[in-house]
Structure 1
């Protein structure tokens, strides 16, 4: 089956829509790109599967998977709303795949009625950033992946008076969704419906309730931390951290983070990572706790009224 607007690959390549069964192969492709850019790999291999399963995503029309002459995945693109992701395997760069997939993604977004498109590019991949700038994209924000070695000295702090902390358990999903989305309303462009939110975290196979502490004050949920754990990486990952706005300044974020770090140390993990970006204003908090930046990325975006120079982008 071909996409609704077929992507025509360079000679020697073939293309088709991605399918859920391709998730592991696409993860390996993404991991190869990230190793080249900054020496690391995605935190958990179920991330691609979660992206393909998001509500509103139809892999038959919203993705392209390109296979190289040897039959292995060479590149892919995923489009949803105003966001897209494009990855070209290091062994297949310089052959026009990136520019052609970008043009396809823009056309797909226009057909869906979207007036802008954005994607995140590792700062360790200057060629990808140059491609986007040549196509009229401008930097919108910076993203950072932070890390901390485990165990963290000092242990878990005592909760503030009246606050109790326990691990996530079944039945907490809806309350955790409401609190995190309320907290993120300050900077995110739109609220995630529950079904979309759950695909990103609590419904992923790597979701780890024992390392996902919740804070309560008098029975009221006031803080949430949701974690993922990929045993193959030897690291934990904080997927969501949120504190009610009227409860900030009490040390709850630090309490939840230190609780999660302790839980991951007990699971034998050597480190814990988390991602943040410019709009959250949280970078200094994490650095104050002893976390350091492992690598950074830039979010690029542009209006889709018309391409800056289609021929130039396609040649890249």
Structure 2
């Protein structure tokens, strides 16, 4: 069989092979496979992605060795991307970087500043010299934290005085309120994008979201003060996607209560592990809060950014 490098766009039917590739990368980078087929299918079906122009599969000798995807749903001038490659395949990695950058320039045309961002494990399968040599730089660091759950975690925590909690399973209006709370409480976070409700649902892949695992916290004199958005569609663990408390209500134990409530909900569902991602430079003290409640590092991720110039 020829070892010629070939590249083509991805299609919906490629999801199982892409998932297998990503899990092979997971095993190398974090020690176990953690990518679910549904996540890959959601990426390939994202309404802002045209697979014919925004996705690439690289094959070496007929074997899938690299995959890349770009999308532009974060406002003018910003393009985000995924890049996965098996070790020892630098030509494939480089070719997909070139294609991503060329497409990103088209998507960001006319905007200034314009940049392409990708997130990678701090010890990735991709040779980082390929990035630094092309002008990429790290702009942010994140940690994925996890916590083991046991029988003792099944008991829900007592709420702070006066705090009421309701889920968003039955009321579409509450889902919109959860969206507004997330937009408000995350507004100052690095990389946050303010999205209208329907666009936010697409970004969230709400088709797979169990709204009974999304909660809003309220106080009688203050109204809605906090939100906890979680999802139970990952094989490896329950996932806390967003935990936000209004700035004027922080320091009252609401964040810690919401976190422990999430622990209790997932312990009751039989989950053994719960995880979340946190910006290590988050100024709200989120990292310290999570660590104080027993969460510890699983792996770390860097955000890499390339300034896009029209001529490359």
TM category, shorter? 0.7 to 0.9
Deviations 1:15-49 (A, max 9, x none): 32222333333222212112111113336432223
Coordinate RMSD, CA, aligned: 2.5
**3-state SS in 1 of match to 2:53:** helix
In the TM superposition, what are the counterparts of 1:150-161 in structure 2 within 5 Å?
Answer: 150-151=149-150, 153=152, 155-161=155-161
TM-score by length of 2: 0.85
Does 1:136 find its partner at 2:167? no
| Structure 2, gaps ≥5 residues long | 73-78
Name the residue aligned to 2:75.
none
In the TM superposition, what are the counterparts of 1:229-240 in structure 2 within 5 Å?
Answer: 229-230=232-233, 232-233=235-236, 235-240=237-242
Q: 1:61 aligns with which of 53, 59, 73?
A: 53
Name the residue aligned to 1:224.
227
Contact 1:121-1:128 at 8 Å conserved across structures:
no
TM-score by length of 1: 0.84
- Cα 1:161–1:189 shift into 2, 3 Å: closer
Name the residue aligned to 1:118.
117
In the TM superposition, what are the counterparts of 1:17-166 in structure 2 within 5 Å?
Answer: 17-42=9-34, 44-70=36-62, 72-81=63-72, 82-90=79-87, 93-112=88-107, 113=109, 115-125=114-124, 127-151=126-150, 153=152, 155-166=155-166
Alignment length (residue pairs)? 294
Name the residue aligned to 2:211.
209
**3-state SS in 2 of match to 1:96:** helix
How far did 1:119 drift?
0.8
Name the residue aligned to 1:290.
294
Name the residue aligned to 1:169.
169
- Cα 1:49–1:197 shift into 2, 3 Å: farther
How far did 1:238 drift?
0.9
Contact 1:122-1:297 at 8 Å conserved across structures:
yes
- Cα 1:40–1:34 shift into 2, 3 Å: same
